[in-house]
Amino acid sequence: MDTVLDIAILGLLMDRDHHGYEIRTQLRDRLGVWANVSFGSIYPALARLERLGLVEAVAVADARTLSSLSTGSLSGERAALRSRRTSSGLGRRGRKVYSITERGRAEFVAMLANPATVDDSKNFSLRMALARYLTPPRRVALLERRRADLVERLDEVRAGSNNELLDEYARGVMDHAAKGVELDLAWIDNLLTAERSNQQSLAHEAT
C-alpha cells in the first residue's frame, strides 16, 4: 500500500478529477519527478486504489468541458461530480474519470505525512511538491527527518572523497556527491527557516 505512485496519484486527485491517460502527463508537469511513468503502472494502481475505496470512478457529462474546469470553487465542483456518479464511471468516449473519496483524502494526508519513507530523494521531492496538503508541523517534521538523513549521508560521501585509496575518478564522484548533498541541505535549511518565520508571523498576528 503506501507506494510512491499511490501518493502521487492521490495527490493529483486532491486537486481535481483525472482519468488515467491524463495522470501520466500531470505526473510529469505538476509533480515533475519522473519522465513519463508507464501506463502499465498507472492503470493497475488506479484499479487497486479503487478496490481499496480510496478513489472511485465518476460519470462525465461532457469530457471536454470538465478537463478545462480545473479551477474554481473546490467544494462546489466536488459536490457536482458526486451527484453524477455512476457504477461504471465510463464517459461516452470510454474515458474513465476517477475522483478521490473522503477515505482517500484521509489516507492521502496520512501517507504524505509518514516520515518513515523520506529516505530517497524522489520520495522526498514528491512529498515536498505536495506539501501544501500538510499542516505546518507535519511539514517541519518531514523536513527535519530529511535533514537528519542528509547529514548522515554527507558524512559517508565526505569519507569517500577524503579516501586516499580511491583513484582520481572515484574520488571525484564522491566529491561531487558531497556537493550535491550540501546543496540539498542548504535547500532544506531554507525551507525550515521559511517555515519557522511563517509560524512566528502567524503567532505574532494572534497577539
Partner DNA sequence: GTCATCATGTAAGCCGTTACATGATTGC
Partner DNA sequence: GCAATCATGTAACGGCTTACATGATGAC
For the beta carbon of residue 81, count every other beta carbon within 10 angstroms: 19
Q: Which of residues 22-41 bind a copy of itself (CB under 8 A)?
A: 28-32, 35
Q: Say how many residues make up the chain.
A: 207
**Torsion angle of the four alpha carbons 8, 9, 10, 12, in this order, in degrees rounded to the nearest 10:** 90
Query: Based on C-alpha coordinates, what's the Rg of the chain?
Result: 21
Residue 203 interacting partner from DNA, a copy of itself, none (CB closer than 5 to 8 Å by kind): none
CB half-sphere exposure, 66, CA atoms < 13 A: 22
Q: Which stretch binds a copy of itself (CB under 8 A): 37-45, 91-99, 106-114, 181-189?
A: 181-189
Cα-based torsion angle of the residue sequence 188, 194, 200, 201 in order, rounded to the nearest 10 degrees: -170
- HSE (side-chain half, CA atoms, 13 Å) at 56: 17
CA 125 to chain centre: 7
Residue 2, contacted partner among a copy of itself, DNA, none, CB below 5-8 A by kind:
DNA
- Decide whether 62 or 102 has the Cβ nearer to DNA: 62
Please pick, from the candidates 148, 176, 200, 202, the single residue that binds a copy of itself as defined by CB under 8 A. 176
Q: Which residues bind DNA (CB under 7 A)?
A: 2-5, 19-22, 34, 37-41, 43-47, 63-64, 92-97
- Report the nearest approach of a copy of itself to the CB of residue 185 (Å): 11
Please tell me whether residue 166 binds a copy of itself under the rule CB under 8 A: yes
Binding site for a copy of itself (CB under 8 A): 28-32, 35, 125, 128-132, 156-157, 160, 163, 165-170, 172-174, 176-177, 179-180, 183-184, 187, 191
